[in-house]
Amino acid sequence: MIGPPLGGNLIQVNEIQLYLSHGRLLGLVERTREHALFVFTHRRMAITGEDVTLEDIFPISNDFGQVIKCILHDIYIGADTRVRLNFQDGELEVRLPFGSHSRLFLSEVNRAWSGKVKREGWDELKREGRDDLVRQSSHTASNKATMLAMPQFGLRDNLVRCELLKNEDIYTYLENFSFFLGTYNVNGQTPKEGLRPWLGSTSTPPDMYCVGFQELDLSKEAFFFNDTPKETEWMKAVSEGLHPDAKYALVKLVRLVGIMLLFYVRNEHAKHISEMEAETVGTGIMGRMGNKGAVAIRFRFHNSDICVVNSHLAAHIEEYERRNQDYKDICSRLLFHQHDPALAPLTIMKHDVVLWLGDLNYRLSDLDVDNVKDLIAKKDFEKLHSYDQLKRQIDEEAVFVGFVEGEICFLPTYKYDTGSDQWDTSEKCRVPAWCDRILWRGKNVRQLHYQSHMALKTSDHKPVSSLLEIGIKLVNEESYKKTFEEIVRSLDKMENECIPSVTLSSREFQFKDVKFMQHQAETLTLHNDGQVPCQFEFIQKLDEPTYCKPWLTANPAKGGNMDIDLEVFVNRSTATELNAGRQKIEDILVLHLERGKDYFLSVSGNYLPSCFGSSIQTLCQLRDPIQEMPLETIRELTSSGDETRTLIIDKPLDIPKEIWQMVDHLYRNAPKQGELFQQPGRRSEFLEIRDCLDTGMPDSLPGSNHSVAEALLIFLDALPEPVVPFSLYQQCLECCSNTSQCKKVVSLLPQCHKNVFNYIAAFLRELLKHSTHNSLDVNILATIFAALLLRSPTKQDLAEKRKTQEFFQHFLVQDLS
């Protein structure tokens, strides 16, 4: 399949995406075990097959082999590569972008070529080629990563990598490079002044720039659709503001709503950048919204692995615990996939150096605004810093354990009147604070400066910069070659002498009282009692699609780690079957050792039924909390169809009592609450709310208004059949512009679904009456709730999403009940 170009010449082939130049699309096509590269021309905005035209076809034959090796070598140099593909009947020149998409596409091409060679009897030639690759003495550091990633080298991949890492000190030495780190919360503004006073403030040009922005765009379009023209505007401003005495290349741009990270390197260093990856994590409402969260990149520079994180954590002076949680969520959820799919993803901390910048939003505690300004006037930053929330949390080892921050000798960077150096004079009169920070973690790092830049006045924040001198590991080619050859010789000797063997810490794992969205984990420890490193993999059982049930995860599921976390987590996709008793917390895992035997692990436990993941019809049959009901009663309710369902009570409830409890709590306590349904609650409070709804204790819902609001959204998202059933979804899209037709569709809902729909719509209309206090409007509520009440039975595109919002808006602007 060939997909449309998105923001460039983007194509999709077997779920692999690739950019090409000159307005062409390149596709790998298979038919009856033969492969060819198809080249298409396309219109500027290709959407359907009619928009593309076949230009040429290049069959993949034996002559293609050497070309593929060259491509695999070049793709690791870290910059766009022009590649000339020579075929028997012609040639094709393409420009491939640096990144994982190109590597994945080329690996598919290589697999196609390898299959062609094998079928025509080239097995012996391939083996000789591999042996030559291992024995030859021309290995260099520049092709090391390429060589280890080649399919021909897979037999010894892990052993060689392990030994090379173990002996790294023998063939590497340190050389210092300068990294300029900058962070700027621009408060949704466009660039109004040059950035040279900030980015060009060093006496000599840095080797690298890592520039982070927050609140790039505060519009609703950016928030809900992650689309903003300000990305290009600020990227242009940065490019023009870099140090004038050097030439720089933009290696990577990554953005999540208003959080953006730009990575530039001096041109002469670009060829030493490899293994570049980028990831994002949202920590906003429901853990999905990107108004808060982080963007990050990781790369290898020479022989050092570096990770750069730009984050925007939760706001407000009293929310330091929420900021701590945001940090922990980013660390646990942000994972980089490695080039070798057999290796577990890399976490942030699995790098030689971690650079963390951004609007961390930690404030000054226990001082009023006048005391803070008095200490600022005296320039007593040391005393002022003792009241800093981030310093206190680091001292308590609550966050950023192992990180270092340089001495702060500059004015707080927040909050100023926009366009001036004057502290906030608004009605809120914010207490000045060092919200914008830069920290690092790792060895051989020295800070040369850490400062703010008062000359820039575009935002209510001031930009901050730090210049770090980092010792990077470079490879001595002769020492590397000698070490590599010694490793290969030793592996030749030991390869057939030992068979891997392990002892397991346990073969039975019990998970007691598993609850909805509450993580439980047990650690399986492998003790290697053999003589060689061992690789394991959890493998599928006969006639099963995956190695484990969907509520269970082994982390990592393959690799050489000796500690494996068996994790149980029930979410919206698995709760319904467990509530109904159609699934149980029971599974058998098969742990396979490469070149060794299989081990069988037993996983068992019990799941506590929850209203989350239960149907509206079932909950309307329950007057008592779900965990007070016999399991057989719940199973009887969920196993019967609508027409044959046995009535447990004479008169079913109009709506589930759990929905009433949450909505009633918000109606009484939160009609004027700011950022309702937009600011996330606390994880611990959600768990308390869930337990209250499932057990009936305590009598009233615990937690903050934001936590109850988020619990309501999670409840609606977890319904197995949404409030508007899947069978009526298409009808809703077709009549979304007609108010009377929308009303007619709602009248067709099952009675309890119709009651819930009207009840929630009425509640939201009440909230809109207080919009001057809670800042809610019809667009915000329609965007949030339409996605939950009118869920698509298949993947929803942008046009469908907007139609569901238009449908639901009719019920927010007038009373149609």
At 768-804, the pLDDT tens digits run: 999 999 999 999 999 999 999 999 999 888 999 999 9
Dump pLDDT digits (tens) for 404-461: 999 999 999 999 999 999 999 998 899 999 999 999 999 999 999 999 999 999 999 9
426 and 311 in a single domain? The answer is: yes
Q: Residue 601 belongs to what domain range?
A: 502-607
Lowest mean pLDDT among 268-272, 395-399, 642-646, 706-710: 642-646
How far apart are alpha carbons 544 and 549 in whole angstroms?
9
Residue 711 located in a structural domain = no
Q: What is the largest CA-CA distance in the chain?
A: 86
User: Which of these, 172, 196, 173, 561, lies nearest to 343 by C-alpha position?
Assistant: 561
Give the CA distances from residue 21 to residues 11, 18, 232, 240, in Å, rounded to whole numbers and listed in that order.
Answer: 11, 10, 20, 25
Could you tell me how many residues make up the chain? Answer: 817
- 733 and 803 in contact (C-beta within 8 Å)? yes
Mean of the per-residue pLDDT values for the chain? 84
Residue 653 located in a structural domain = no
Per-residue pLDDT at 585: 96
Which token pair is 809? Answer: 């808006």
Q: Where are the beta strands (DSSP E) in 317-444?
A: 353-359, 436-442
Per-residue pLDDT at 163: 86
Helix (H, G, I), strand (E, B) or coil at 365: coil
Dump pLDDT digits (tens) for 327-385: 999 999 999 988 777 778 999 999 999 999 999 999 999 999 999 999 999 999 999 99
Per-residue pLDDT at 64: 56
Per-residue pLDDT at 131: 35
Amino acid at 461: H
Give the position of tokens 């025509």: 120
470 and 506 in a single domain? The answer is: no
Beta bridge partner(s), residue 604 = 510, 586
Beta bridge partner(s), residue 423 = 416
Rg (CA), the chain: 29
Q: Is the dihedral of CA 360, 361, 366, 371 positive or negative?
A: positive
Element (H, E) at 297: strand 293-301
Dump pLDDT digits (tens) for 69-97: 333 333 333 344 455 565 655 666 666 55
Average confidence (pLDDT) over 176-182: 98
Residue 547 located in a structural domain = yes
CB atoms within 10 A of CB 18: 24
Helical pair 751-768 and 778-789, crossing angle rounded to 10 deg = 160
φ/ψ of 346, rounded to 5, equals -90, 135
Q: Where are the beta strands (DSSP E) in 135-247?
A: 172-185, 208-214
Which token pair is 27? Answer: 């596709």
How far apart are alpha carbons 448 and 8 in whole angstroms?
39
CATH of the domain at 188: 3.60.10.10
* pLDDT confidence band for 816 (50 / 70 / 90): very low
Residue 556 located in a structural domain = yes
Give the position of tokens 């971690």: 354
What does the buried/exposed string (b/e) look like for 633-649 if buried means 16 or more CB atoms within 10 Å of the residue's CB? ebebbbeeeeeebeebe
Average confidence (pLDDT) over 286-310: 88
User: Which of these, 565, 485, 462, lies nearest to 523 by C-alpha position?
Assistant: 565
Which of 115, 144, 160 delimits the end of a domain? 115
Which of 97, 115, 133 delimits the end of a domain? 115
User: Which of these, 108, 180, 190, lies nearest to 151 by C-alpha position?
Assistant: 108
Instruction: Find how far residue 543's CA is from the centre of its chain.
Output: 32
189 and 99 in a single domain? The answer is: no
Per-residue pLDDT at 430: 92
Dump pLDDT digits (tens) for 36-61: 887 777 554 444 455 567 777 777 77
Lowest mean pLDDT among 275-289, 439-453, 462-476, 769-783: 275-289
Amino acid at 748: L
The DSSP letter of residue 613 is: T
Residue 189 located in a structural domain = yes
* pLDDT confidence band for 2 (50 / 70 / 90): very low
Q: What is the 3-state secondary structure (H, E, C) of 501-535?
A: CEEECCCEEEEEEECECCCEEEEEEEEECCCCCCC
Indicate if the pLDDT at residue 623 is higher than 60.
Answer: yes
CATH of the domain at 587: 2.60.40.10
230 and 90 in a single domain? The answer is: no
Q: What percent of the chain has pLDDT over 90?
A: 66
306 and 441 in a single domain? The answer is: yes
389 and 288 in a single domain? The answer is: yes
User: Which of these, 658, 255, 238, 795, lies nearest to 465 by C-alpha position?
Assistant: 238
Identify the residue with better confidence: 176 or 140: 176
How far apart are alpha carbons 488 and 479 in whole angstroms?
14
Give the CA distances from residue 244 to residues 202, 502, 683, in Å, rounded to whole numbers and listed in that order.
Answer: 11, 58, 48
CATH of the domain at 54: 2.30.29.110
**Phi/psi class of residue 412: alpha, beta or left (left: φ > 0; alpha: ψ in -120 to 50)?**
beta
Per-residue pLDDT at 226: 67
Per-residue pLDDT at 21: 41
Per-residue pLDDT at 128: 37
Dump pLDDT digits (tens) for 310-331: 999 999 999 999 999 999 999 9
Residue 483 located in a structural domain = no
User: Which of these, 285, 288, 306, lies nearest to 296 by C-alpha position?
Assistant: 306
* pLDDT confidence band for 218 (50 / 70 / 90): confident
How far apart are alpha carbons 472 and 7 in whole angstroms?
35
- 623 and 657 in contact (C-beta within 8 Å)? yes
Average confidence (pLDDT) over 634-645: 63
Which of 115, 134, 153 delimits the end of a domain? 115
- Do β-strands 273-282 and 293-301 pair in parallel, antiparallel, or remain unpaired? antiparallel
Asked if the bond preceding 432 is cis, omega within 30° of 0, the reply is no
Per-residue pLDDT at 136: 32
Q: What percent of the chain has pLDDT over 70?
A: 80
How far apart are alpha carbons 389 and 315 in whole angstroms?
13
Helical pair 157-166 and 477-494, crossing angle rounded to 10 deg = 130
Which token pair is 343? Answer: 């290796």
Burial zone of 204 (CB within 10 Å; 0-12 exposed, 13-18 middle, 19+ buried): exposed
437 and 540 in a single domain? The answer is: no
- Do β-strands 248-256 and 259-266 pair in parallel, antiparallel, or remain unpaired? antiparallel
223 and 334 in a single domain? The answer is: yes
Indicate if the pLDDT at residue 395 is higher than 60.
Answer: yes
Indicate if the pLDDT at residue 587 is higher than 60.
Answer: yes
How far apart are alpha carbons 586 and 474 in whole angstroms?
50
Identify the residue with better confidence: 738 or 649: 738
Question: How many structural domains are present in the chain?
Answer: 4
Residue 497 located in a structural domain = no
* pLDDT confidence band for 144 (50 / 70 / 90): very low
CB atoms within 10 A of CB 601: 20
Indicate if the pLDDT at residue 193 is higher than 60.
Answer: yes
Dump pLDDT digits (tens) for 500-552: 889 999 999 999 999 999 999 999 999 998 877 889 999 999 888 999 999 99
How far apart are alpha carbons 575 and 634 in whole angstroms?
13
345 and 419 in a single domain? The answer is: yes
How far apart are alpha carbons 332 and 399 in whole angstroms?
13
Residue 132 located in a structural domain = no
371 and 513 in a single domain? The answer is: no
355 and 456 in a single domain? The answer is: yes
How far apart are alpha carbons 362 and 375 in whole angstroms?
18
Per-residue pLDDT at 590: 96
How far apart are alpha carbons 698 and 701 in whole angstroms?
7
Identify the residue with better confidence: 642 or 178: 178
Indicate if the pLDDT at residue 118 is higher than 90.
Answer: no
Per-residue pLDDT at 130: 32
101 and 212 in a single domain? The answer is: no
How far apart are alpha carbons 801 and 441 in whole angstroms?
42
